[in-house]
Structure 1
Amino acid sequence: MKKQILNLGKALSKAEQRNVFGGYLQECTFTYLSTYTGQWETVTSGGYADGQAGSDQANEDCVGMISNMDATRCFYDCEWDD
């Protein structure tokens, strides 16, 4: 426990900073062209960090859908982006 308390004063790495969420989580809406159906699909998902961090996470999810060949095109819109 003492060791954990002593570590509170250290600076967070860039990777750690990206994983820190504030108290508010936002929803993002994804529109993607499904490789399975050939149709445009829309889904809204919550749990994204507030602000730019959540938008960055949504972008990574879109890239992941394309990389995994679940979609050929993907767009996202988060509450922060409005």
Structure 2
Amino acid sequence: SSPMPFYYNRLMMERYGLIPRGLPSPSEGESAPTAPKPATSTSTNEISVVTMKCRGLNLKKYDPSANNKLAYAVEDELQSSPLFDRKETK
């Protein structure tokens, strides 16, 4: 008999990411779920925490509260962004 192509081997498909996470493998014979479950990522390529240091100009000679206004404006923009967790953005 001829060798089986890699794309028919369930273990090879899982190893090389040919089967999307959360979906049953073709050999299991289960029906696909109606709504995908949120995947808990264990990937080392996912960024979960970003630490930022912002450096700016001293604006006190123009307005005594300008430095604080700028810092709070940046914080408000980050907190209102859907890309950041509002509770964790400080």
Task: Report TM bin, short chain.
Answer: 0.3 to 0.5
Q: Which has the higher strand share?
A: 1
The structure whose Rg is larger is: 2
Structure with larger RCO (C-alpha < 8 A, sep 6+): 1
Give the TM-score normalised by the residue count of structure 2: 0.34
After TM superposition, the score normalised by the length of structure 1 is 0.36
